[in-house]
Amino acid sequence: MNVLLLTDKLIFGGAESYYCKLENCLEHPDVECFTAAAPGELEGRLKYKERFLRLSRTNHAKNLWSLARFVKKKQIDLIHANSLRMVMYAALLKKYHPLTIVYTKHNVTSLEQQFPRIFAKLINAQVARVITVSDFEKRNMTAVGVTPEIVKTIHNGVDLKQFPYSKKVDHPIFKVGILGRVSEEKNQSFFVEIAAALRSCSNLDFQIAGDGPDTSRIKDKITQLGLEGRVQMVGMVEKPEEFVKEMDVLLMTSTREVFPMVVLEAMATGTPLISIDRGGIKEAILTDETGYLIRDHSLAEFSSKVLYLKSHQTIRDQISRRGRQRVEQHFSLERMIQKTLVEYLSLYGEVTKHEQKHHHFWRINRRRRNAKVAGGND
């Protein structure tokens, strides 16, 4: 089976990181993966560049022409679309080439908000499998009319080697961070307000990692509140694992979320989280066990939790260990890849129910790879 992973552009973001992880790690003797996307900062993370088709960010007609030729040349059987726009691309290509479409839904789309019936009709008519990254989003999909039988939750997975566990050590300065695209929905503005509310507390340092359309506005707000010495904007980070590891606590202040990767990355490294309760975040964070969930954007609640963790190292250590354990058990990258491969192969009837349950095919593939390595060493 030949699979084409299709996304809009390889810019910094959770959905794009997911795409790169699939490209890097999807391995099976019966599956060959190809990729297509417009360029961006993450293009360098692609492992198999010889299988990559570079698209335009603006010329959709040219993209469709290039993709039609690529699909025919590579004899693509399945397109895995990483956005709704790519589902529409795939639906057009499907008119001229027999294709199965898989759609991973990362974000809330304008179409489903404004025209839910049209959205559901499009998905039901064109998509064989919808992968939602949280049960919260699965419920949303079925609520707007998407056929429940085609929707499957596969939670995001974190690379446990890239994000190793690191025990926190007490430092004179307690670092509070936020990581993500600097945008209205990520709500770094509220993060700055928390820093302002805690300005009288000594030994606190606030850091904003990421870049985006709200960068200038957030910088202006920091200046207006006189927080230049307290809040740092560090820009886009090449190695998010290093930033997350350096923080004593990470905050999530978004106005909306589905299932953000940064939550899993923080838990993997052992960095405690204080998060707004939005979307599927509660599927990862068990409040008071692996972090803290706060229902509303309450300055008082967020601020008090920051101070509580700052003054209780034993609690921080407990949350840190439990978070890592939970990620290892439920949200590893290997688990995500296994489940995604099951969906690909089951759509072609190539995996029996027993194999789907036990991921038997994955173990066979691992043994084959190990045998090749052993054979090469003889």
Are residues 108 and 181 part of one domain? no
pLDDT of residue 94: 96
Indicate whether 241 pLDDT > 50: yes
Phi (first) and psi of residue 275, to 5 degrees:
-130, 145
Are residues 240 and 104 part of one domain? no
pLDDT of residue 350: 53
Are residues 299 and 180 part of one domain? yes
pLDDT of residue 349: 76
What is the residue type of 73?
Answer: K
Kindly state the average pLDDT of the residues 268-282: 97
* Domain presence at residue 20: yes
User: What is the token pair recorded at 95?
Assistant: 């008119």
* Domain presence at residue 194: yes
The helix/strand/coil state of 140 is helix
Phi (first) and psi of residue 289, to 5 degrees:
-115, -55
Q: Kindly give, in sequence order, each residue whose CB lies less than 8 Å from that of residue 216, ignoring residues fewer than 6 positions away.
A: none
* Domain presence at residue 115: yes
Are residues 117 and 32 part of one domain? yes
Are residues 296 and 230 part of one domain? yes
Angstrom distances, CA of residue 169 to CA of 310, 347, 365: 12, 48, 41
Strand partners, 82: none
* Domain presence at residue 19: yes
pLDDT of residue 355: 46
User: What is the token pair recorded at 67?
Assistant: 């993709």
**Residue 44, number of CB atoms within 10 A of its CB:** 11
User: Is the CB of residue 306 less than 8 Å from the CB of residue 194?
Assistant: yes
CA torsion through residues 259, 262, 268, 271, sign: negative
pLDDT of residue 169: 86
Are residues 262 and 359 part of one domain? no
Kindly state the average pLDDT of the residues 85-96: 97
pLDDT tier at 170, thresholds 50, 70, 90: confident
Kindly state the average pLDDT of the residues 235-247: 94
User: What is the token pair recorded at 184?
Assistant: 């209205």
Per-residue pLDDT tens over the stretch 366-375: 444 444 444 4
* Domain presence at residue 21: yes
Are residues 338 and 230 part of one domain? no
Residue where a domain stops, chosen among 291, 312, 330? 330
**Residue 358's domain spans which residues?**
2-157+332-377
User: Is the CB of residue 31 less than 8 Å from the CB of residue 342?
Assistant: no
* Domain presence at residue 165: no
Are residues 373 and 238 part of one domain? no
Give me Rg for the CA atoms of the chain: 22
pLDDT of residue 372: 46
Per-residue pLDDT tens over the stretch 103-145: 999 988 999 999 999 999 999 999 999 999 999 999 999 999 9
Per-residue pLDDT tens over the stretch 66-87: 999 999 999 999 999 999 999 9
Per-residue pLDDT tens over the stretch 304-351: 999 999 999 999 999 999 999 999 999 999 999 999 999 999 998 754
Residue count of the chain: 378
Indicate whether 353 pLDDT > 70: no
Identify the residue whose tokens are 């707004």: 276
Are residues 352 and 315 part of one domain? no
Indicate whether 354 pLDDT > 60: no
Could you tell me which residue, 15 or 276, shows the higher pLDDT? 276
The helix/strand/coil state of 318 is helix
Kindly state the average pLDDT of the residues 238-259: 95
Q: How far is CA 261 from the centre of its chain?
A: 4
Indicate whether 273 pLDDT > 80: yes
Q: Can you tell me the distance from the alpha carbon of 89 to that of 91, in angstroms, rounded to the nearest whole number? A: 5
pLDDT of residue 108: 87
Are residues 247 and 360 part of one domain? no
Indicate whether 357 pLDDT > 70: no
Q: Can you tell me the distance from the alpha carbon of 110 to that of 259, in angstroms, rounded to the nearest whole number? A: 18
Are residues 146 and 238 part of one domain? no
Task: Please name which of 303, 266, 258, 265 lies closest in space to residue 282, comparing C-alpha atoms.
Answer: 258
> Which CATH number fits the domain that encloses residue 52?
3.40.50.2000
Task: Please name which of 50, 147, 53, 153 lies closest in space to residue 93, comparing C-alpha atoms.
Answer: 53
Kindly state the average pLDDT of the residues 290-307: 97
* Domain presence at residue 169: no
Kindly state the average pLDDT of the residues 170-178: 94
Spell out the alpha helix ranges (H) of the chain.
14-25, 60-74, 84-94, 110-114, 116-126, 135-143, 188-197, 215-224, 240-246, 261-269, 299-311, 313-330, 333-346, 353-358, 360-377
Are residues 190 and 99 part of one domain? no
pLDDT of residue 358: 47
Count: domains in the chain: 2
pLDDT tier at 171, thresholds 50, 70, 90: confident
Q: What is the mean pLDDT of the chain?
A: 92
* Domain presence at residue 349: yes
